[in-house]
Amino acid sequence: MDVICAPGDGEPIRRYNQADPRFGTLPTLEDVRRTLALTQYDTPPYNTFSAGSFRAVLEGRRGAEGW
């Protein structure tokens, strides 16, 4: 996998979500692939209860591994 964006100031990229301890690391390559494979950007009811969508996974409300 190629680097898409070079680090600016040398600081590591961190995923921040205090409510869930699973987010202490960056997503795995498989997580990224599963997320990018999702075909729906958003699903009803178009809020925090939406499932099976790219937006829900990207915002950290749903995992890329399943619903």
pLDDT digits (tens, 9 = 90+) for 12-36: 655 556 666 666 677 789 988 998 9
Residue 52 binned pLDDT confidence (cut-offs 50, 70, 90): confident
Quote the pLDDT of residue 18: 63
Six-digit token pair at 66? 């399943």
Taking the C-alpha atoms of residue 65 and residue 28, their distance in angstroms, rounded to an integer, is 11
- Closest-CA residue to 23 (of 67, 53, 58): 58
pTM: 0.55
Give the alpha-carbon dihedral of 45, 64, 28, 36, to 10 degrees. -70
